[in-house]
Amino acid sequence: MKKIILILGIIFSLSSWAGEEWKIELEQAKVLFDQKEYSRAKELLLSLAQAHPEDVEVNYYLGLSFLALDDFPSAKEWLSKAKKLAPENILIRLDLAWVLMNLGELEPAEKELDFVKERSPENARLWYLLGLLALNQKNCPEAEKYLKKAEQLDPKFKGEAGYYLGKCSLLEGKNISAQKYFEEVIKSAPETIWAERAKKELEKIPSANVFQARGDILYQYDSNIVPVPDKDALPEEVSNMEDSRALIWLNLGYYPLLKDQGRLGIKYRFYNNWQFEETELNLQLHQGELEGYYDFNISNLGARTYGSYLYQSAGLGKNYDYYSTTHRANFRFYLIETQTLTTEISYTFENEFFAHPGEEDFNRDNNAHQILIGEHIYLWNGRIDLGIFGKWRSEDAKGKNYDLNNYGASLLVQLLGWKNLSGWLSFDYDWRDFYRSDFDRRDQAYRLSLEIEYDFLKYLGIVAGFNYDSYNSNLDSYDYERQIYSLGIRAKY
């Protein structure tokens, strides 16, 4: 009797297994998915979907497989089917919301998350996705609140939430906060994709150290060391029109007040060159500068005010005897209209005195005023700054032959950072009217400048540069051309 019962049990089990064989295939598809064999899982699930179109798991895992393969439209299709079959399933709703966000369908995504919020308000992934939704909507305060809540509910979101909190800070222009968030991600979630992404973001953020330093050691060739049209126009103490020089250019900064909204600090700069032949033209500069900026909002637009005062003392010749003193005050206003467009308005006042300014009509001690208005257009995800400017400058000298009005335009292209490369290219045009000159002088000046920096170590790079000046005047004695080629090493911290 026992044998008969055992045989009947085996027969019943086999018949039951035969009827549910597709469920074994579904389990196999799940295993393939867990093993990240997404294409194989998808193919198996598609065959199951033809025979069992009403099964929730088949539709759900098909949606997840397409999601893993970055096929968001197909993922949306299958997850939407799964939602219809199981409308109360929170997990399906959350995955569908993520797909909708990737498709840019923010309102439908928000409806899915609101559904989950009503039924499971303590779900950490819900708040994580709400944070990403707010980030996509450019609402950083909300994003920060939601992401921090997700992190509190489940520490496993710490790396992801911290990374996106850093992105939020960057979106608001808060580089210092962003730097702190990314550093915390690297520390708290090492060897994760979020730590890798945080490292890449940190490389893009300008240095925000309290102490800053930069030093250049360069070789320069100069085709026209005293800008004159030909050798016959050289001053008595100069015999060579072209020359080469070695130079150092040191910049030191200290910023005791360094905040997301602004900073205030002091700088010292030292420049010294050594002409290889015409040592009477050796130049030395000492500069001290107080500078700072403050960020604020005007309506819904970001804005920045920047101010600086610079003092410069220059020495010239073999012994760097006193040559001139310059005082310069600069005020700038930036209006951040969009992520890719910023307006700049700048005013500069400058006062310059010379050891030997000249006499009477040739006295060149002067006061100068300059106004500049332009647009910064940011391209290639902010890596390139394209600046277009118009400017006016007026110089009021003690001697009338140096009084001038200068009208000009500038084009500036800056590569702010790509891999290990950075640099800039600028073109300037000036039309100068010496309106009180005894010689009825009118000049046009063109300048093309280029600098490229390649960082082969974290704090060390190679710098190459080129300047070309073409100066055209209605007076032949003021016509000249000049080329300067530079090559050297830059260290920075």
pLDDT, one tens digit per residue, over 395-435 is 999 999 999 999 999 999 999 888 889 999 999 999 999 99
pLDDT tens, residue by residue, 49-99:
888 889 999 899 999 999 999 999 999 999 999 999 999 999 999 999 999
CB distance 99 to 75 below 8 Å: yes
Q: Torsions phi, psi of 219, nearest 5?
A: -110, 135
Cα–Cα distances (Å) from 276 to 86, 116, 144, 279, 323, in that order, read 83, 76, 59, 7, 20
Nearest by Cα to 165 from 132, 129, 207, 124: 132
CB distance 445 to 472 below 8 Å: yes
What end-to-end distance do the CA atoms of the chain give, in Å?
90
Angle subtended by helix axes 124-136 and 106-119, to nearest 10? 150
**CB proximity list for 162: less than 8 A, separation 6 or greater:** 151, 181, 182, 184, 185, 188, 189, 194, 198
pLDDT band at residue 207 under the 50/70/90 scheme = low
Nearest by Cα to 318 from 270, 271, 273: 273
* Residue 27: HSE in the Cβ half-sphere, 13 Å Cα cutoff: 5
What is the pLDDT, as a whole number, of residue 324?
A: 97
**CB proximity list for 476: less than 8 A, separation 6 or greater:** 229
Mean pLDDT is lowest, of 8-17, 126-135, 374-383, 439-448, for 8-17
Handedness of CA 455, 460, 461, 466 (dihedral sign): positive
What is the pLDDT, as a whole number, of residue 445?
A: 96
Per-residue pLDDT at 493 exceeds 90 = no
Beta-bridged to residue 351, according to DSSP, are: 327, 367
**CB proximity list for 353: less than 8 A, separation 6 or greater:** 324, 325, 326, 365
Q: How many CB atoms lie within 10 A of CB 41?
A: 24
pLDDT tens, residue by residue, 348-383:
999 999 999 999 999 999 999 999 999 999 998 788
Looking only at the bridges linking them, the beta strands covering 243-258 and 321-338 are unpaired
Per-residue pLDDT at 48 exceeds 70 = yes
Domains of the chain by start residue, with CATH: 21-204 (1.25.40.10), 212-492 (2.40.160.40)
Per-residue pLDDT at 278 exceeds 90 = yes
- What is the DSSP code (8-state) at residue 461? E
pLDDT tens, residue by residue, 290-299:
999 998 888 8
What is the pLDDT, as a whole number, of residue 450?
A: 97
